[in-house]
Amino acid sequence: KKAKCFSDIHYDIGKIDDKMYSSFTEHLGRSIYTGIYEPGHPNADEDGYRKDVMELVKELGVPVIRYPGGNFVSCYDWHDGIGPKEKRPKRMDYAWSSIETNQFGIDEFCQWAEKVGIEPMIAVNLGTGSIKDAGDLVEYCNHPGGTYWSDLRAQNGHPEPYNIKYWCLGNEMEGSWQAGHLSAEDYTKKALEAAKIMRWVDPSIKLVACGSSYEMLPTYMEWDRTMLTDLYNQVDYLSTHNYTMNSGQGTTNYLASYKQLDSHIKNSAKVIEYVKAKNHFDKDLKICLDEWNVWNFQDIKLDSLDDLMGLTTFEMTSAGKWEIAPPILQEKYSLLDAVVVGGLGISLLNNADTVEIACLAQLINVIAPITTIPGGGIFKQAIYHPFHMLSKYGHGTVKKAIVDAPKYQCDLGELNVVEPAVIYNEENDEVRIFVLNCDQEEDVEFEVDLQGYGDKKVKKHLVLAGNDYSVMNTIEHPDAVEMEEKEVTAANSVVLPKMSWNVIVLG
């Protein structure tokens, strides 16, 4: 098969913000404890942070990490996680029916963030928490000193403020699974008052409002319209979440998941535009897709996402109740999942005009690209590789691309067998193309027709493909799935192997 991709340098989609390659870590399962933090581990530093984890997080090139949840944040009292560790209380975490030891809190996260070189994005509890708690947390983190909470931070060993810029006003507040779930009207009132106090404490912060995430909820989009009508001018981003699941829809549909993410993002963009137009607002609001990934719910038996909606969070994992850092949501990703994650990355890029922040959910052990063994080693899950390639090569301006290619039919309609995202990297004068070949039977010869970019030839071609799409990386076989570098043979075309995700660099 053959496909041709046309791109003209004059037609932009949008400049890619580096925050497109952000991530998320929650107090959930082994994400923090025995993930980030494992005192006594042979590879832990003097503060108990695993150095092997820090190295991989640095290599992944993640600029911002969202913390501490997730569903967890709606049950969390941040005061429990500060001060002398021996005095911190053990609490029931209702979100994941686990015990939270509070040995890791906001100071530890900020200290770890500094060591790793990432910027924290903090979610406040608008479920069971109060607007005063939210204001106090901004004061604790960002006020220079001379007040109760800022002085307590200094007393706890951190005289300099953390100056945290990005703050999420709660998490998935539209969902009944959320502790302290609110109606759109009640969330609007609470978020508005929290935003007011948080900005009084520090006017420089950027705020993310909870948009709706789950398309099967009856409030989908209507929540956003109601909430944004009052919150639009008080916030900087609209949040949404999107998880892709291989749930028996068949490989053809699963590979086409990028299209579902594309419409999900466009729905959020449309509701922003609607509220802006209806109310004659001036400013633009960007999207913060602060949770996205493949999540196959391997912990439990599910036939479809509809089944999931009937579950309480207590039923969402296989763990016994009230364990400390139980091994839950430890998804094992296959080569097929990795190809799909690469496809989702293409949709993120093709929406660079509206998406400014996107967080791969999550980072370590829990639906994550990095897996650690308690007391032992570490390995990269299959999805690590496409995400790493996106964060490494996905910088510059996304350009419009028109594709002339064979079509195929799936549940989302008729689609091209290839789906590209074309980027012009101004710094290196390179064209970088991420492209998915959804054809399961045949390789596709992919020709690039560039206008106005100067004389560019293919100089690199990296491929994610294989013979067995169920293969997974493990601690014993950590490189079973990895990117393969192909020999470059033609100036303006490459062969995309069947069912593959590709990185092409032209310079």
Which of the residues are catalytic?
Answer: 172, 291
Give whichever of 49 and 214 is closer to ligand AHR, judged by the CB atom: 214
User: Contacts with ligand AHR in 107-126 (CB under 6 A)?
Assistant: none
359 lies in the site for ligand AHR, by CB under 6 A: no
What DSSP designation does 333 have? -
Nearer to ligand AHR, 70 or 345 (CB): 70
Nearer to ligand AHR among residue 296 and residue 350 (C-beta): 296
Q: How many residues bind ligand AHR (CB under 6 A)?
A: 10
Give 265 or 433: the residue with its C-beta nearer to ligand AHR. 265
Alpha-carbon dihedral angle through residues 484, 485, 488, 489, given to the nearest 10 degrees: -40
Query: Binding mask 212-251 vs ligand AHR (x if CB under 6 A, - otherwise)?
Result: -----------------------------x----------
Q: How many angstroms separate the most distant Cα atoms in the chain?
A: 69
Helix runs in 143-248, H state only: 148-155, 184-201, 222-231
202 near ligand AHR, judged by CB under 6 A:
no
Stretch that binds ligand AHR, among 40-48, 63-71, 384-392, 401-409 (CB under 6 A): 63-71
The end-to-end CA distance of the chain, in Å, is: 25
User: Phi and psi at residue 504, in whole multiples of 5°?
Assistant: -120, 130
Q: How many CB atoms lie within 10 A of CB 106?
A: 23
130: Cβ contacts below 8 Å, ≥ 6 apart: none
User: Does 70 interact with ligand AHR (rule: CB under 6 A)?
Assistant: yes
**Which residues, numbered 157-196, are part of the site for ligand AHR (CB under 6 A)?**
171-172
State which H helix or E strand residue 273 sits in. Answer: helix 257-278
| 24 or 140: CB nearest ligand AHR | 24
CB-based contact 431:459 (threshold 8 Å): no
Q: Is 98 in the site for ligand AHR (CB under 6 A)?
A: no
Residues 48, 69, 105, 369: which binds ligand AHR (CB under 6 A)? 69
| Amino acid type, 155 | Q
Residues 361, 436, 462, 494: which binds ligand AHR (CB under 6 A)?
Answer: 361
Would residue 325 be called left, alpha or beta, if left means φ above 0 and alpha means ψ between -120 and 50 degrees? left
Backbone angles phi, psi at 235, to 5 degrees: -125, 170
Q: Closest approach of Cβ 274 to ligand AHR, in Å? A: 25
In the bound state with ligand AHR, the residue whose beta carbon lies nearer, of 291 and 430, is: 291
Q: Is 362 in the site for ligand AHR (CB under 6 A)?
A: yes
Tell me which residues in 10-29 interact with ligand AHR (CB under 6 A). 26
In angstroms, give the least distance from the CB of 308 to ligand AHR. 10
* Residue 292, H or E segment: strand 286-294
SS3 136: helix
Tell how strand 12-15 and strand 397-399 pair up. Answer: antiparallel
Q: How far is the CB of 29 from ligand AHR (least distance, A)?
A: 10
Residue count (the chain): 507
Question: 3-state SS string over 456-503?
Answer: CCEEEEEEECCCCCCCECCCCCCCCCCCEECCCCCCCEEEECCCEEEE
Q: Does 257 participate in binding ligand AHR (rule CB under 6 A)?
A: no
Of 69-77, 134-142, 390-398, 457-465, the window that binds ligand AHR (rule: CB under 6 A) is 69-77
- Tell me the window of 13-21, 65-73, 80-88, 270-278 that interacts with ligand AHR (CB under 6 A): 65-73
The answer, yes or no, to whether the previous bond of 70 is cis (omega within 30 of 0) is: yes
291 sits near ligand AHR (criterion: CB under 6 A): yes
Per CB under 6 A, the list member of 7, 25, 71, 101 interacting with ligand AHR is 71
* Least CB distance to ligand AHR at residue 362 (A): 6
Whether residue 216 contacts residue 226, with contact meaning beta carbons closer than 8 Å, is answered with no
Q: Which is nearer to ligand AHR, 291 or 356 (CB)?
A: 291
Return the range that interacts with ligand AHR (CB under 6 A); candidates 53-61, 66-74, 270-278, 384-392. Answer: 66-74
**Tokens found for residue 196:** 């007011």
For ligand AHR, the binding residues (CB under 6 A) are 26, 69-71, 171-172, 241, 291, 361-362
